[in-house]
Structure formats: C-alpha cells, structure tokens
Amino acid sequence: MKLKGQVAIITGAGRNIGEETAKLLALEGAKIAVVDFDKERGDRVAQEIVASGGEAKGFIADISKEEDIVQLMKDVVSLWGGIDILVNNAAVSDNKHVLEITTEEWNKVIAVTLTGPFLMSKLAAIEMIKKGTAGKIVNVGSTSGFYGRKRAVAYASAKGGLVSLTRALAVQLASHNIRVNAVIPNKIGSPVGKSEFDPTRPVVNLKGRNGLPIDLARAVLFLVSDDSDFIVGDLLFVDGGVSAMMVGD
C-alpha cells in the first residue's frame, strides 16, 4: 500500500472526481476525510469506503468559510492525529457570460473555487508542519484556467488563479517538506456541480472518449505518493491530449 496510515482530506468528495479519488486513496491505505457540503453525499462515500475495508469519515464543511475549515482541521486532527494529504477538489461554476454575470455570482465562484483551496492549503499546511512528516497538496485545476471560453468567466478566472496559487504554495511550502502540485482535467465525468454523467456527450481529444473520474484519481494518487517525490510545483494535464491540439485541427 502506497499510503498506509496516512491521513487524507479530500474536498468535494461526495461525487464524481472527489468520490473516485477518495476510494482509490483508501484502497492504498489512507484514512479519508470525505468533505462535502452535502452531508448525505459525504456520509454515503465514507460508508462505502468502510464497507470495503477502508477507514473514512464524512465531514460537512463550506470551504468558502474559514470558520468551517478551522473546525474541519480540528476534527480531523482530533480523530486521526494529523494530516498528510490534502486534495483541493471542490469547485462551483457560473456558466455565465461577462455581460450577464452578477457580482454576487462572481464572488461565490471565486470564494469556493479559489479562496477555498487557499484557506484549505494554509490551514492544512499548519497541521502538516506540526506533524513533522512530508505533506502533499494537490489542487484540481481545469483546462478552463488556460483558455478563454464563451461562458463561465468566473470559473475560468478562478481556475487560472489556482495555477498561480499552486506554484506560489509550492515555492513557499517546499522548505517545510510539503509538495504542492496540480492536476488539470478536461471534461472528466459529470460537469462541475452536477451528478449526472452523459456518456454520449461529444468530446474532442486524442483518445476519442470521455474522461472518467478514475483517470484523474490515478493521477492524484501518483502525485501524493512517493512515486512523484521529485515533482514539485507541476501541472499534470489529464485531458486526453486536448491541450496538445491546435484549435480547428
């Protein structure tokens, strides 16, 4: 087991990418804090992990609220004694054009999708440093953070900011033996904020198929394991080759 005895916090773990990542890391021996805004979803995933022989517990938290994150860290440390891994997966999207989005909608997306990972990383890093062992943080970005889109102006902006946040954290936390990296998916599983997955959704990539949550979960596992010990501040694209293609080709 690559993660035996380690404690992992995964946000947005009640479905899709977060759920699959939680289950895969649990199979590798990690104790999983299944964090989700929806208690029922988080508890379900935690129960399924336990039923499969793993160790997990559901935690409810709004990651846009610092007080929720402070309490989350206290609860996880109280239960398992420390934190080794953080996967910042939770996000919301606006799907709005710049001429129609409201300031309130913009602020909500930025609060969850960018400020949330900042706060989670800051407070988790404090606990990792206290524990004194190697910490790992993985941010779940998006190809939307690298290209302009006809819609989702706030989401694209937040994911672009997450790229810079990843690199800044990598530089600032390296001396504390904490590695920070990011995975960059494209159309993996169900759309952001939705549970339904449409396998017939058209995709254009070099693999000719839809991305699956397990595709990204395996990349996350690589980045939080010792297999990637010399990889720091990197962006691992898990997009079926979308980023390598020329528009219109």
Sign of the C-alpha dihedral computed for residues 60, 91, 112 and 173 taken in this order: positive
pLDDT top residue among 198 and 211: 211
Q: Measured between alpha carbons, how far is 77 from 207 in angstroms, rounded to an integer? A: 41
Per-residue pLDDT band at 203 (split at 50, 70, 90): confident
Sign of the C-alpha dihedral computed for residues 121, 229, 182 and 41 taken in this order: negative
Residue ranges of the domains in the chain?
7-244
Per-residue pLDDT band at 198 (split at 50, 70, 90): low
Q: Which residues contact 132 (CB under 8 A, 6 or more apart)?
A: none
Strands 135-140 and 235-238: unpaired
Answer yes or no: 155 catalytic: yes
Q: Is there a contact between 31 and 55 (Cβ–Cβ < 8 Å)? A: yes
Q: Measured between alpha carbons, how far is 69 from 65 in angstroms, rounded to an integer? A: 7
Q: For the segment 98-139, what is each residue's pLDDT rounded down to a tens digit?
A: 999 999 999 999 999 999 999 999 999 999 999 999 999 999
Q: For the segment 140-183, what is each residue's pLDDT rounded down to a tens digit?
A: 999 999 998 899 999 999 999 999 999 999 999 999 999 999 99
pTM score, whole prediction: 0.96
Residue 78: CB atoms within 10 Å? 8
DSSP for 179-218, written as a single string: EEEEEEESSBSSPTT-----TT----SSS-S-B-HHHHHH
Instruction: Report pLDDT for 195.
Output: 59
pLDDT at 244 over 70: yes
Q: Which of 85, 155, 183, 240 is catalytic?
A: 155
- Token digits for 171? 């530089």
Burial class (CB in 10 A: 0-12, 13-18, 19+), 230: exposed
Q: Is there a contact between 49 and 22 (Cβ–Cβ < 8 Å)? A: yes
CATH class of residue range 7-244: alpha beta
Q: For the chain, where are the alpha helices, taking DSSP H only?
A: 16-27, 39-51, 66-80, 103-110, 116-131, 153-173, 213-224
> pLDDT averaged over the chain?
95
